[in-house]
Chain A
Amino acid sequence: MIQFTVYGTYDYSCHIREDEISIDVESTSRYLTYRRVCRGESAERTIASEKGSIIINPVEPLNLPKKVTRYLEIHFNPIFVEPETTRQLYLTFPVEIGVFIRAKEDNDLLDVFSPVLPKYSLYGPPDYGRVTRWHESSIYPDVPKTDPLREGVLDLTLVNEGKTWIEVSRAVFVNAGMTIWYGDYVLMSAKMELYSNMVAETKILSTPGKNGMTRSIPAYSARKVSVVEMVPEKVVFLMEFGLGDKIADN
């Protein structure tokens, strides 16, 4: 399996050039200087450390331009799901690139950036709804080819538990430690249990990626949020405002 060039672990002197991204860590007499340029935007950090490593991996796409939500919404062409069946399909999801600094067994998030322009939306009505990071995807029967710096592959299992056909064209997931894997592509697994045309339950799975894939450090846990270790399967999101373009007003 080909390890994608930007993602991986580096020592304190690294220079990465890829497409429209450049990352440099340079050592001066007392400090390290981290510089990044992406889409014309630059960031610089000063690091006081002697020995450690820089880890670059895809993170959940909920940090840019600033953190306003925990919800990811993927919109796709409507798919009709037969009653009492389980179907697997592939979607894409946006990724952000997280740069972590690691020393003495501790990680911290140094920088997050993305060549993808983020877009936000609202799932549900303005009073009770959720602001979501919005992404438009096609539906794929197999793992699609993606640019790992921009998009990941979402392995989505649709379960129609009802006795009627259900039309789905959107999936909303809550970020509670999204488990993202990376190798020659970026992968995340999720499950969506459909109860009716208006209600479904979604959850991110921590299913291990394909052989040779590496598990990403999530930006969520690196920020040292109170919940130290979360099990994604335990955190479900109830989509109660509809599964299609028509949103319930409530």
Chain B
Amino acid sequence: MTRLQTTNSTLDITAIVANLKAYDIIAIAVILIIAVIIAKICTTFLKKKLSDRMEKSDLNVLNSIVWWSIILIGIFFASPHFKIDLSGLLVAGGILAVIIGFASQSVVSNFVSGIFLIIERPMKIGDNINIGDVTGNVEHIQILSTIVRTFEGIYVRVPNEKVFTSNIKNYVSNVARRFDYKIGISYRDDADRAVMIIRDIIEHEPFALKNPEPLVFVDKLGDSSVDLLIRIWAPSKEWYDLKMSLLVKIKTALEANGVEIPYPQQVVWVQQAKSAERGRGHEDNGR
């Protein structure tokens, strides 16, 4: 049996073809056709199952990876029929792999992180998130990086490795979330009445959820005011709009009902005045 030599990773293609017998050609063709059919079935299956769960671009990348992996496995199975001594190729391939591995460490890391992000799905396009010092809306989740548009409209590309290893705050991942207000009212005002007024305002807000029930209660007797704490649950997609609009409604309603929201204040006792008063008292006693 003739063995083909590989020298410096260069294959003599003509020699390979010349040594192939009809049986080998048929076997190679059959194996590769089977590989193509399996790859087609797998990629079609992935398209059907994942097209509503993954970005089209990511799905295309995943499909390409699956396709070429199956084809490479097919080539691996067909390789005995090529009658190639793969040992030389393996050594050269190993050295090449080490070089490429060092050179593309971060690329591979980002790629693998991207795969895990696609599987784990801690966020999806349109979500309002915070990754490290970046806060904004997710524009794209790509295989190497995640694109975030900050609230100022700035484009930020975050490498997937950073996304994967950072704490991700997804503000809209849960269907509902809570937000709080702290409102101080004057010590002169009736706190129970203020609580009722605020409850009424919340009751008339469609997106202030009925359940979990909103809470309004006296939280603290502060230096300048009786502090009320208001806790409201809202649909995650609507909470910010509600938070922005509701506070002014509460303020307006409290003021309309004569409830004062006091400025920070401090009572100052002036010693001189007290001494003068005492002095006047002595004079009155003398008379």
Q: Which residues of A contact B (CB under 8 A)?
A: 64-65, 68-69, 117-123, 126-131, 134, 247
Contacts and interface: CB of A to CB of B under 8 A. Distances in A.
Contacts of A119: 203, 206, 210
Given A68-B238, A122-B212, A134-B210, A117 B175 contact: no
| Interface hub of A64, A128, A131 (most chain B Cβ within 10 A) | A131
Nearest to A124: B175
Nearest to B210: A121
A151 to B, nearest CB: 17
A166 to B, nearest CB: 20
B174 interface: yes
Contacts of A65: 206-207
Interface in B227-245: 233, 235, 237-238
Contact of B174 (A118, A123, A126): A126
Given A68-B238, A122-B209, A122-B211, A117 B204 contact: yes
Q: How large is the interface on B (under 10, 10 to 19, 20 to 34, 35 or more residues)?
A: 10 to 19
Given A126-B176, A127-B175, A129-B176, A121 B206 contact: no
Closest CB pairs A-B (n = 10): A121-B210, A126-B176, A118-B206, A121-B211, A127-B174, A126-B174, A131-B235, A134-B210, A122-B176, A122-B209
Contacts of B237: 68
B81 interface: no
Given A64-B206, A120-B210, A134-B211, 19 more contacts: A68-B207, A69-B235, A117-B206, A119-B203, A119-B206, A119-B210, A120-B206, A120-B207, A120-B209, A120-B235, A121-B209, A121-B211, A122-B175, A122-B212, A126-B174, A126-B175, A126-B212, A129-B176, A131-B209
Contacts of B203: 119
Contacts of A123: 211
A118 B235 CA distance: 14
Contacts of A131: 175-176, 209, 235
Contacts of A117: 204, 206
Given A131-B235, A247-B211, A126 B177 contact: yes
A120 B242 CA distance: 13
Interface in B160-185: 173-177
